[in-house]
Structure 1
């Protein structure tokens, strides 16, 4: 075998091991039946809080837009048509709380704002972060912390990243134009001002190449939405978390159920989420997908969000 062929084989093996393609790690249920999905009863206070003039897209049904972008938040089951994940579980619990049947509508991420504004859906439950700009057109009922994760190779000597100085001089993989990049650029600037080394940010076109760079030692850290990396770590068992970062750093910006501005549904949804928190079914839903670290103690309606930049 030539050296060129041998090198190609090694690269392909690493890509196969590290590619974030959907797989089924132990502990995650990808069946279409979802027999372990938590359910709950009606929340009369939440039902009473729905505005009297609010009309659901379909009577008796909670129609929710969701983007099956990947596990553990939302993806397709083994039947390739049933949408499963943490967000569908939350949607089901909300529908139960309102005494409604759930209808999940798979939607491209770019399409949900227009679809919601035009009345195509009652709500969007698809990892939508609260921002001040979005609050101009939509109402929000928070249901998860918006977190980014710092992950390293399982054998990395890096033990913890909690503040800018912990990243001084590190080679960090991040997506171009993302909120994570904005924060890390601010961290790098703060490090330089403090006499420390700047960060070396690295950009790659696809997920597989990012993880090859991390595995090969070309990079020290990868920063992406926390939920994505939690799943990959559980599946591949070759990366580990060393820290988390609020999406709204230095403030916080949580993830929320999104509804039309002034539609009269947001407060009811907030009451419903708080009811789920009180009964424990909320944490049960997040635990199924290894997302307890993103749990909220309390849901809020239209809290401060990520500011305009």
Structure 2
């Protein structure tokens, strides 16, 4: 993750531009980046969740749920058209939790490296910023899950291929970022395929997104493997690529994203209950769908589930 930076209004305008494409390609989706966020789901106060707040729980501010968000990449979070207000899927989830706990939401934009100390010290009540549950993090933090951590294979919109398992990438030219979790998984898939007598994968590395997507559009590459949320948002916005298959970012283990709070501060169970109530009443689905994250929805929030193992 990178330190928060403000997006220029012209860039934001480009992000929400829509156009009618040919019948072979899905229409571009329009995403609301206004500071008012009229489509953001809101929740009623949840007395059941409030009762689960620990007796010794302390909030950073009275009557406020202070949330750190360390992303300026959509769909997670970015500055809206006023260049001041953070909008995106993470602010939407944070709003539902704050409403459920009967508190005003205050979002603080932070650098990724700063949230652990901020949460541990009580400066922020929670971080809602695409944080994956890991066993190492569970030593210092509590978790309330709210989304699957998925990777996705994206292909040219007119490309009919489907990728569901290792053998499906045999012989393909696949773009992946060097040094990433997805690269390690793809390398393991490739090793398995070679052992099974299948054609190897041709891995491609591109530092420039323009070059990367040109490779997909021209057929010089068959697929791009990366974080499903980011690639899916771009696919919905531009309608030039489509999802060909996805799997857990912890493959072969389950990886989940969670609201992260200081360990033992008495908030996790209340937040989990709040999320489950919103799953039940449909607000949760609305929050994900409006940012093209429906594929990453979970059926039930859990407190401190098994996380990815220590390396």
TM-score, scaled to structure 1 = 0.90
Does 2:60 match 1:68? Answer: no
**Match for residue 11 of structure 1?**
none
CA contact (8 A) 1:20 1:232 kept: no
1:151 alignment partner, SS class = strand
Unaligned runs of 5+ in 2: 1-10, 18-28
**Match for residue 24 of structure 1?**
16
The alpha-carbon distance between structure 1 residues 22 and 263, as it changes in their structure 2 partners (threshold 3 A), is farther
CA displacement 1:256-298 (0-9 Å, x = unmatched): 0011111111111111100111111111111111211111100
Question: Alignment length, in residue pairs?
Answer: 290
Matches within 5 A, 1:158-307: 158=161, 160-307=162-309
2:245 and 2:181 mapped to 1: Cα distance?
17
CA displacement 1:163-192 (0-9 Å, x = unmatched): 000001211111122111121111111111
CA displacement 1:71-114 (0-9 Å, x = unmatched): 11111111111100111001001000000000000111222112
CA contact (8 A) 1:68 1:83 kept: no
2:154 and 2:13 mapped to 1: Cα distance?
18
1:115 and 1:212 mapped to 2: Cα distance?
41
The alpha-carbon distance between structure 1 residues 21 and 245, as it changes in their structure 2 partners (threshold 3 A), is farther
Unaligned runs of 5+ in 1: 1-18
Once the 2 structures are TM-superposed, how far is the Cα of residue 20 of structure 1 from its aligned partner?
11
The alpha-carbon distance between structure 1 residues 230 and 20, as it changes in their structure 2 partners (threshold 3 A), is farther
Which of 80, 83, 88 is the equivalent residue of 1:77? 80
Task: Note the aligned Cα RMSD (angstroms).
Answer: 1.7
More displaced stretch, 280-289 vs 209-218: 209-218
CA contact (8 A) 2:126 2:260 kept: yes
1:153 and 1:238 mapped to 2: Cα distance?
6
Once the 2 structures are TM-superposed, how far is the Cα of residue 21 of structure 1 from its aligned partner?
10
2:114 and 2:217 mapped to 1: Cα distance?
35
Once the 2 structures are TM-superposed, how far is the Cα of residue 130 of structure 1 from its aligned partner?
0.9
